[in-house]
Amino acid sequence: MNAISLQNLTKTYANGTQALKGIDLEVTAGDFCALLGANGAGKTTIIGILTGLVNKTSGNVKIFDHDIDIHHDMAKQIIGVVPQEMNFNIFERVEDIVVNQAGYFGIDRKTAFAETQKNLKELRLWDRRHEIARTLSGGMKRRLMIARALVNKPKLLILDEPTAGVDVELRHSMWKFLGDLNKQGVTVLLTTHYLEEVEQLCRQAAIIKDGQIIANDRVKNLVKLVAKETYIVHVDVICSLEKIRGYNPVVIDENTFEVDLSKEERLNEFIAYLSRLGMVVNDFRPKGNRIEKLFLNILDSTIETRVGA
């Protein structure tokens, strides 16, 4: 069964901006899916439509079995959403922000308190529950929005850049929290600009460009597409590059060149080979992370396709 099913979804805003130009996307129940794309690609617009904050222009949207045009309220009941922008009342108490949200779902206060306690504890906010939200740090406010999104025990959790501006340690603990939720059966859809997050956490990734999906696959398949990784090599003197022609060397300056190595290549052996050729290696490092490279390649190749077309 699909948790999300989008068919030919379009959105043109009142000012004429065509934010979505025919999105088809399916996310299987229980999956963990990332929406990737540059600023303005259309990610938040998709989330807005899924969560009922933005009206679609055309197309079909289903959340589990519920068509949002017909069963709007049913769909809303099973979604939890963490928006990109903070949207709670900063003068309310932390605990109240979560408990009051339960009221929108018709959840009785006793149940809401129990759920709030569990989630605030897990998100390490329980000690701050009596404080007004304004006194929380940025990372705590993000976690508060996650606690609030979970109060109705959603089957589908949607997070719009949950780890933006969050420090490394907290980001890792949020990954663990979201990973555990997913293991308990919650379907997760998130947008992010951190490609490492996608590689660590997500099973599926859809890449959006200018309101269209340009790639959509299991993350493990996407990563496989990056058969080679580029390394930057600093040496004392560049020589005998013709002997490593197979590694596609590109000279950057008199001491620096780049080479493409496949995943199977043993780095130490390659460095030893360079020294046998007469190059003393001072520094040797990957140019970027794999999925980042893939992401840029995919964006580039669509530009080429369009130029070529």
Ligand X SMILES: Nc1ncnc2c1ncn2[C@@H]1O[C@H](COP(=O)(O)OP(=O)(O)OP(=O)(O)O)[C@@H](O)[C@H]1O
Residues of this chain that interact with ligand X (CB under 6 A) are 13, 15, 17, 19, 37, 39-45, 84
Cα within 13 Å of Cα(22), Cβ side? 1
Q: How far is the CB of 47 from ligand X (least distance, A)?
A: 8
Out of 5, 44, 119, 192, the only residue in the binding site for Mg ion (CB under 5 A) is 44
192 binds Mg ion (CB under 5 A): no
Q: Which is nearer to Mg ion, 44 or 152 (CB)?
A: 44
Q: How far is the CB of 138 from ligand X (least distance, A)?
A: 17
Stretch that binds Mg ion, among 76-84, 113-121, 234-242, 287-295 (CB under 5 A): 76-84
Q: Which is nearer to ligand X, 37 or 154 (CB)?
A: 37
45 binds Mg ion (CB under 5 A): no
Answer with the entry of Mg ion, ligand X, none that 41 interacts with (C-beta below 5 to 8 A by kind): ligand X
Beta bridge partners of 188: 32, 157
Task: Indicate the burial class of 39 (C-beta count within 10 angstroms; 0-12, 13-18, 19 or more).
Answer: exposed
- 3-state secondary structure at position 35: strand
Q: How far is the CB of 84 from ligand X (least distance, A)?
A: 6
Beta bridge partners of 227: none
What does the alpha-carbon distance between residue 104 and residue 85 come to, in Å, rounded to a whole number? 20
Answer with the entry of ligand X, Mg ion, none that 45 interacts with (C-beta below 5 to 8 A by kind): ligand X
163 binds Mg ion (CB under 5 A): no
Q: Report the alpha-carbon angle 90-96-102, nearest 5.
A: 115
Cα within 13 Å of Cα(274), Cβ side? 25
| Nearest residue to 129 (alpha-carbon basis) of 139, 118, 138 | 118
Residues 54, 45 contacting (CB under 8 angstroms):
yes
What does the alpha-carbon distance between residue 228 and residue 77 come to, in Å, rounded to a whole number? 45
- Which residue type, as a one-letter code, is found at position 216? N
Q: Which is nearer to Mg ion, 42 or 154 (CB)?
A: 42
Answer with the entry of ligand X, Mg ion, none that 248 interacts with (C-beta below 5 to 8 A by kind): none
Q: Which is nearer to ligand X, 43 or 143 (CB)?
A: 43
The contact set with Mg ion (CB under 5 A) reads 43-44, 84
